[in-house]
Structure 1
Amino acid sequence: MKIEEFASLFEKYYPKQLAENWDNTGILVNSEEEFSLVLVCIDITESVIDEAINKKCKAILSYHPTLFKSFKKLVPETRSQKLALRLLKNGISVYSPHSALDSVNGGINDWLASLVLNEPVSLTSVPKNTTAIEPSQSDISIGSGRYVTYDTPITIDEFIDRIKNGLDVPLRYAIPSTKKEIKTVAICCGSGSMMFANKCADAVLTGEMGHHEVLEHLEWNTAVVLSEHTNTERGYLKHWIPRLSELFPSVTFYQSECDVSPLVYMV
């Protein structure tokens, strides 16, 4: 299989048109080589490329686009240029779905919604009581972000525990002193503060948010839960790879062992 054939089938299930207008998705590097082994990661780094070479993967499915800012010459100056040159030198193609995977039904934001609902993860449907914050023009049932409404409010402690157990990573959170229960939750993987409007929900879940934005949400009586940017994304991969294997039976997918959050906690 070559990357064009892979992209054609992939986009039937994860439509490229669901990506945000500002995003850079799709085929980012085309080595024109055949492949049957694909390395799956959140971010491409030098270590991830080493791993792809060692595993003989001629394609990388990278959630974040390796190439985002444009450049006019292919010389080893910026990080993106260096990675692109090395990928081409080693005959490795790259495809990035990024925000299309956030918006699609059964995508990353739906995975997060299933965690706060304490429900099984589905890779093909939107969880119950869940809608898009910014619905897609082509399908109002999907789109950017997710808005979850509980049938019965849950306590703050239970809400935090669900996220902590689901993500299995350290959390940072800010809780208004008067907030005791959660009825509605706004969700956006990665960095989603721009999507959360004034008093949009009882709580918001995202990866990162600025200090003053957190203070603003507290003034709105909205609880804030943060887990660092890629920690709201990477946990999805272990659920996604079996689904990819179903869609591409002739391809073997490996989750990268070198792809980790660049930030660590010191206690």
Structure 2
Amino acid sequence: MKTANGQEIIQLFESWSPKKIACMENDPIGLAIGTLNKPISKVLVTLDVNEQVADEAIAKGCELIIAHHPPIFRKLSNIRTDTPAGKLYEKLIKNDIAVYAAHTNLDVAEGGVNDLLADALQLENRQILEKTYHENLMKLAVFVPDDYAEKVRFALAKAGAGHIGNYDSCSFSTNGQGRFRALEGADPFIGNIGEMEKTDEEKIEVVFPHSLKNKILKEMLNAHPYEEPAYDLYTLAVETNEMGLGRVGTLKQPMTLEQFAQHVKTQLDVPCVRVVGNVATMVSKVAVVGGDGNKYIYAAKRAGADVFVTGDMYFHVAQDAQSIGLNIVDPGHHVEKVMIKGVAEKMTTLCESAKISVQFIQSEINTEPFIFI
């Protein structure tokens, strides 16, 4: 195991929860405070960053904090150390503690906040509630001499081309003849300078997500024997890698809305919930959005949900939900705390696989601002 560098840790994090999948305009994600260009031995994982969390990081010897809620949400015009926010930033900087925020990208990521909430609620047959991200598939058609076709096919598959659903190494080939003439300055693999050449070739076609384009082309060019390979590259209308906010799934057994509200309280570890709907109604299909899900009541209804679990429900939105026959269970915004354990465990696994030595510590500070009487 090697000593971790902050950049390496965040590269692993972003391989799971990349910035590009964030779904809020100008979401202030990424490095908020400090530097990642330093050795890291301990990382504190927290929902929020306040002064108590900063003190916890100092006491536990953490050089990096990974938070869900960005500590700097709006652009700063100044940093005054006689304000609560300024004092927090000063404390973090003086103690050389970097803060990295993963907000809506962590909501959307597979295994992120919304999946963790769905796991806690024991939802089955899970689907995305509101799609917010996708990539277009691309197709590469490359012409390869017959004797090298298998080598190029293998290189393309290893780079991630030809992965379709539950299948990998998918490709299609047709045979034909290639014709060319090498000009002065060329170093032909087949034939001679100035002479027309004809050779048996295989046209290999593979598809892949747009994000893999550079990697696919690099591996193809490395494996191809020709000095100047001939290939075609297309962007397809077919979409892949669909991701989004919220999840919708089914309960193992139907229950009344009142029973389900108790289930939410227990599973999400909250003292109380707000409920909209007839508590005697039977519910089976559940939609969930971590944090503030007011915008998604109609998405939940379109998805066929009997009940929608989300926080920060506004009075008039609750009335709208009532009018369309959608039950609501509001356990508050702070249930996103499920990310603390989830991120710590996921990052421990990723770093162990990469043979990076770093400890992920779950914050014990309760950042819920509300008390219930």
With the length of structure 1 as denominator, give the TM-score of the two structures: 0.86
Equivalent residue runs for 1:74-223 within 5 Å: 74-76=79-81, 79-116=84-121, 118=122, 128-138=125-135, 139=240, 141-149=242-250, 153-177=254-278, 180-197=281-298, 199-200=301-302, 201-223=305-327
For structure 2, the residue ranges without an aligned partner over 5 or more in a row are 136-239
The answer to whether the 8 Å contact 1:136/1:144 transfers is no
Partners of 1:75 and 1:236 lie apart in 2 by 31
Which amino acid letter does the alignment assign opposite residue 257 of structure 1?
E
- CA offsets 1:104-139 (integer angstroms, 9 cap, x no match): 1111111222233x26xxxxxxx6332232342235
Offset of residue 149 of structure 1: 4.3
The answer to whether the 8 Å contact 2:257/2:278 transfers is no
Which amino acid letter does the alignment assign opposite residue 133 of structure 1?
E
Partners of 1:49 and 1:141 lie apart in 2 by 36
- CA offsets 1:12-35 (integer angstroms, 9 cap, x no match): 111111112321111111234422
Offset of residue 97 of structure 1: 0.9
The answer to whether the 8 Å contact 1:173/1:223 transfers is no
Structure 2 residue aligned with 1:11, among 11, 14, 35?
14
Bigger Rg over Cα: 2
Instruction: Give the fraction of aligned pairs with identical amino acids, expressed as a percent.
Output: 31
Per the alignment, residue 235 of structure 1 pairs with 338
Q: Tell me how many residue pairs correspond in the alignment.
A: 257
Structure 1 residue aligned with 2:63, among 58, 62, 83?
58
Which amino acid letter does the alignment assign opposite residue 113 of structure 1?
A
With the length of structure 2 as denominator, give the TM-score of the two structures: 0.63
Which amino acid letter does the alignment assign opposite residue 56 of structure 2?
E
RCO higher in structure (CA 8 A, sep ≥6): 2
Q: CA 1:223/1:115 → structure 2, altered by over 3 Å: closer, same or farther?
A: same
Partners of 1:177 and 1:51 lie apart in 2 by 43
The answer to whether the 8 Å contact 2:309/2:328 transfers is yes
More strand by share: 2
Offset of residue 64 of structure 1: 0.7
SS at match of 1:136: strand
Mean Cα deviation higher: 178-187 or 95-104: 178-187
Mean Cα deviation higher: 38-47 or 250-259: 250-259
Per the alignment, residue 67 of structure 1 pairs with 72
Per the alignment, residue 24 of structure 1 pairs with 28
Partners of 1:215 and 1:155 lie apart in 2 by 21
- Kindly report structure 1 stretches of 4+ aligned residues shifted beyond 6 Å: none
The answer to whether the 8 Å contact 1:186/1:196 transfers is no
SS at match of 2:100: strand
Structure 1 residue aligned with 2:329, among 203, 217, 225?
225
Alignment RMSD, CA only?
A: 2.3
Q: CA 1:76/1:54 → structure 2, altered by over 3 Å: closer, same or farther?
A: same
Partners of 1:103 and 1:192 lie apart in 2 by 13
Which amino acid letter does the alignment assign opposite residue 131 of structure 2?
E
Mean Cα deviation higher: 219-228 or 127-136: 127-136
Mean Cα deviation higher: 184-193 or 143-152: 143-152
For structure 1, the residue ranges without an aligned partner over 5 or more in a row are 120-126
